[in-house]
Chain A
Amino acid sequence: MFLFIVRRVFFAVVLLLAVSFFTYMLFAMLPSDPAALTCGKNCKPDVIAANRIRLGYDKSLMEQYWLFLKGIFAGRDYGTGAAAFSCGAPSLGYSFGQHECVTTLIAQTFPVTAYLSIGAFILWMFIGISTGAIAALNKGKWQDRAASIFTSIGVSLPTFYIGLLVLFSVVIWLRILPFPSYESPFDNFPVFLRTMILPWLVLAVLSAASYTRLTRNGMLEAMNEDFVRLGVAKGLTRRIILRRYVMRQALVPIVTIAGLDFAGLLGGAIITESVFSLPGMGKMSIRAVVESDLPVLVGTTMVAAVFIVLANVLVDIAYGYLDPRVRVK
Chain B
Amino acid sequence: MSNEVVLSVKNLSVVFHTPDGDVAAVSNVSFDLHSGETLGIVGESGSGKSVTASSIMRLNNSITATTTGSILISGVDILTADESEVRRIRGSEVAMIFQDPLSALNPYYTVGKQIAEAYLVHHPQVSKTDARAVTLEMLKKVGIPNPEKRIDEFPHQFSGGMRQRIVIAIALINNPKVLIADEPTTALDVTVQAQILDLMKDLQAEFNMAIVLITHDLGVIAEAAKEVLVMYGGRVVEQSTVDALFSEPTHPYAWGLLGAVNSLSSSGRGALATIAGSPPSLIALPRGCSFNPRCTFASEICRSEVPVLRTVGTQGSVAACHLPDNEILTIGREVASR
| Contact of B98 with A235 in the complex, beta carbons under 8 Å | no
**B42 CB–A CB distance under 8 Å:** no
| Contact of A234 with B91 in the complex, beta carbons under 8 Å | yes
**B27 CB–A CB distance under 8 Å:** no
Chain A residue at minimal CB-CB distance from B174: A235
| Contact of A233 with B91 in the complex, beta carbons under 8 Å | yes
**B104 CB–A CB distance under 8 Å:** yes
Return chain B residues, CB-CB under 8 Å to A322: 108
Stretch at the interface among B4-12, B73-81, B82-90, B128-136: B82-90
| Contact of B170 with A234 in the complex, beta carbons under 8 Å | yes
Return chain B residues, CB-CB under 8 Å to A235: 87-92, 118, 121-122
**A285 CB–B CB distance under 8 Å:** no
| Contact of B91 with A226 in the complex, beta carbons under 8 Å | no
A203-245: which have CB < 8 Å to B?
Answer: 225-227, 229-237, 240, 244-245
Interface footprint category on A: 20 to 34
**B117 CB–A CB distance under 8 Å:** yes
| Contact of A244 with B106 in the complex, beta carbons under 8 Å | yes
* Secondary structure type dominating chain B contacts: mixed
Return chain B residues, CB-CB under 8 Å to A225: 103
**A249 CB–B CB distance under 8 Å:** yes
* Secondary structure type dominating chain A contacts: helix
- In the assembled complex, the Cα of A231 lies from the Cα of B104 at a distance in Å of 9
Return chain A residues, CB-CB under 8 Å to B117: 234, 236, 240, 244
**B100 CB–A CB distance under 8 Å:** yes
A300-329: which have CB < 8 Å to B?
Answer: 322-325, 328
User: Closest CB of chain B to A218's CB: distance in Å?
Assistant: 14
| Contact of B104 with A226 in the complex, beta carbons under 8 Å | yes
| Contact of B63 with A140 in the complex, beta carbons under 8 Å | yes
| Contact of B154 with A237 in the complex, beta carbons under 8 Å | no
Return chain A residues, CB-CB under 8 Å to B98: 226, 229-230
| Contact of B108 with A230 in the complex, beta carbons under 8 Å | no
A231 with B88: in contact, given A226-B100, A328-B154, A328-B157 (CB under 8 Å)? no
- In the assembled complex, the Cα of A226 lies from the Cα of B92 at a distance in Å of 19
User: Closest CB of chain B to A126's CB: distance in Å?
Assistant: 23
- In the assembled complex, the Cα of A249 lies from the Cα of B106 at a distance in Å of 9
- In the assembled complex, the Cα of A245 lies from the Cα of B57 at a distance in Å of 19
A230 with B170: in contact, given A235-B90, A244-B106, A328-B154 (CB under 8 Å)? yes
User: Closest CB of chain B to A155's CB: distance in Å?
Assistant: 25
**A287 CB–B CB distance under 8 Å:** no
| Contact of A244 with B167 in the complex, beta carbons under 8 Å | no
Chain B residue at minimal CB-CB distance from A322: B108
Q: Which of B89, B106, B157 has the most CB of A within 10 A?
A: B106
| Contact of B108 with A237 in the complex, beta carbons under 8 Å | no
User: Closest CB of chain B to A11's CB: distance in Å?
Assistant: 26
Return chain A residues, CB-CB under 8 Å to B107: 227, 249, 323-325
User: Closest CB of chain A to B209's CB: distance in Å?
Assistant: 15
User: Closest CB of chain A to B53's CB: distance in Å?
Assistant: 10
| Contact of A227 with B92 in the complex, beta carbons under 8 Å | no
| Contact of B154 with A325 in the complex, beta carbons under 8 Å | yes
**A52 CB–B CB distance under 8 Å:** no
User: Closest CB of chain A to B55's CB: distance in Å?
Assistant: 12
Return chain B residues, CB-CB under 8 Å to A8: none
| Contact of B103 with A324 in the complex, beta carbons under 8 Å | no
**B95 CB–A CB distance under 8 Å:** yes
- In the assembled complex, the Cα of A225 lies from the Cα of B170 at a distance in Å of 17
| Contact of B96 with A233 in the complex, beta carbons under 8 Å | yes
**B109 CB–A CB distance under 8 Å:** yes
Return chain A residues, CB-CB under 8 Å to B63: 140
- In the assembled complex, the Cα of A237 lies from the Cα of B57 at a distance in Å of 14
- In the assembled complex, the Cα of A322 lies from the Cα of B108 at a distance in Å of 8
Return chain A residues, CB-CB under 8 Å to B59: 229, 232-233
**B294 CB–A CB distance under 8 Å:** no
| Contact of B89 with A230 in the complex, beta carbons under 8 Å | no
| Contact of A230 with B167 in the complex, beta carbons under 8 Å | yes
- In the assembled complex, the Cα of A40 lies from the Cα of B98 at a distance in Å of 77
- In the assembled complex, the Cα of A1 lies from the Cα of B105 at a distance in Å of 24
**B201 CB–A CB distance under 8 Å:** no
Return chain B residues, CB-CB under 8 Å to A249: 107-108
**B150 CB–A CB distance under 8 Å:** no
User: Closest CB of chain A to B114's CB: distance in Å?
Assistant: 8
B244-301: which have CB < 8 Å to A?
Answer: none
**A54 CB–B CB distance under 8 Å:** no
- In the assembled complex, the Cα of A249 lies from the Cα of B103 at a distance in Å of 12
**A248 CB–B CB distance under 8 Å:** yes
User: Closest CB of chain B to A242's CB: distance in Å?
Assistant: 13
| Contact of B106 with A245 in the complex, beta carbons under 8 Å | yes
- In the assembled complex, the Cα of A235 lies from the Cα of B57 at a distance in Å of 10
User: Closest CB of chain A to B56's CB: distance in Å?
Assistant: 10
A230 with B156: in contact, given A235-B121, A244-B106, A324-B107 (CB under 8 Å)? no
Chain A residue at minimal CB-CB distance from B92: A235
**9 A-B residue contacts at CB 8 Å?**
A229-B104, A230-B106, A234-B118, A235-B121, A235-B122, A236-B118, A244-B108, A249-B108, A328-B156
Which residues of A are at the interface with B, using a C-beta cutoff of 8 A?
140, 225-227, 229-237, 240, 244-245, 248-249, 322-325, 328
Which residues of B are at the interface with A, using a C-beta cutoff of 8 A?
54, 57, 59, 63, 87-92, 95-96, 98, 100, 103-109, 117-118, 121-122, 153-154, 156-157, 167, 170
| Extra contacts besides A233-B91, A328-B156 (8): CB < 8 Å | A226-B104, A229-B54, A232-B90, A233-B90, A234-B95, A235-B87, A235-B122, A324-B108
The 6 A-B residue pairs with the shortest CB-CB distance in the complex, in nearest-first order: A235-B91, A235-B90, A226-B103, A234-B118, A234-B91, A324-B154
